Amino acid sequence: MKQLLITDVSPRDGLQNQALHFSTQDKRWLVEALSDCGIPRIEATSFVSPTAVPQMADAADLLAAVTGPAKDKLCVLVPNSKGLRRAQDAGANEICVVLSATETMNERNIRMSLAQAVSTCIEVLAEAQAAGLRTRAYVAVAFACPFEGQTSPDRAIQLAKQMADAGADEVVIADTIGAAHPSQVSNLMRPLINTLGADRLGIHLHDTRGLGLANAWAAIQAGVKRFDSSAAGLGGCPFAPGAAGNLATEDLAWLAHESGYETGIDLPALLQVVEGLSLRLKKPLGGRSYTWLKQYFSKAVVDQNHAMSGNPK
């Protein structure tokens, strides 16, 4: 069976710009519930300035609160060496750095030039590796930037190679504002797969223009095996105007399962997580397939019960 590895980013990317405060205990529920669904890796939080991203102010408290199998599945985002030290002190085992592919996005997001951002990411990756931590490096706005328009594929490839050369265990190509279309995904990911290998390359997709699943399929066809997604489609970069929600994990998992790929994800259990998120955030949530999937699995349970009892439908 062919396999995809899905990292659910809803606790970090999904919650970071929510208007309604999500408590540490609710975040713990989310992380542990995602783990119980079979999600193999979870991006739990970020050690950024609490002034810039108030929803992530409890990063250390969350890592301390999570117990059980979920604890070994967590990765956290760090913006610099200070954030890395905070993450280490909190017991993080895996960290992520984010490098935007354009000058303006770096300036607006972290107040650095592109060259300074590259240098900072390389420095943090080296420090994390020296500490024995696993590492991921995002190349953000890899397809298009909200300030500069289309991103040069050559630049995205160059930056991805720099992060790989710096020792990142995984390089993640991010469609931060959901502006990519399938041919762009294919044209960028195929040469990167050939250079970095499928075991070291991932993709992070948004569904802003309704092409999230189409782009995911293009990535799968290009040989990508590692994907970011977010339960209920929560998320969107708070520093990127128009960056609507991430590709929903339930949509991606259903696409994978129907196309002959294993993810290890229990879809009915994941739908319960989506329902729990809706209740806690006080608004209806869910990916494009959510309503249909609820009906599908409800009918499957009814049919199974009838079959076991020997009663006709």
Catalytic residues: 237
Query: What single string gives the DSSP state of each residue in 130-185?
Result: HTT-EEEEEEETSSEETTTEEPPHHHHHHHHHHHHHTT-SEEEEE-TTS---HHHH
Contact 202, 173 (CB under 8 A): yes
Return the structure tokens found at 3: 């396999």
The Cα 62–Cα 25 span in angstroms is 8
Q: From the centroid of its chain, how far is CA 41?
A: 9
Q: Rounded distance, CA 164 to CA 243, Å?
A: 26
- Token look-up 């970069």 returns 237
What is the rounded CA–CA span in Å between residue 17 and residue 20?
Answer: 9
The H or E element that residue 94 is part of is strand 94-100
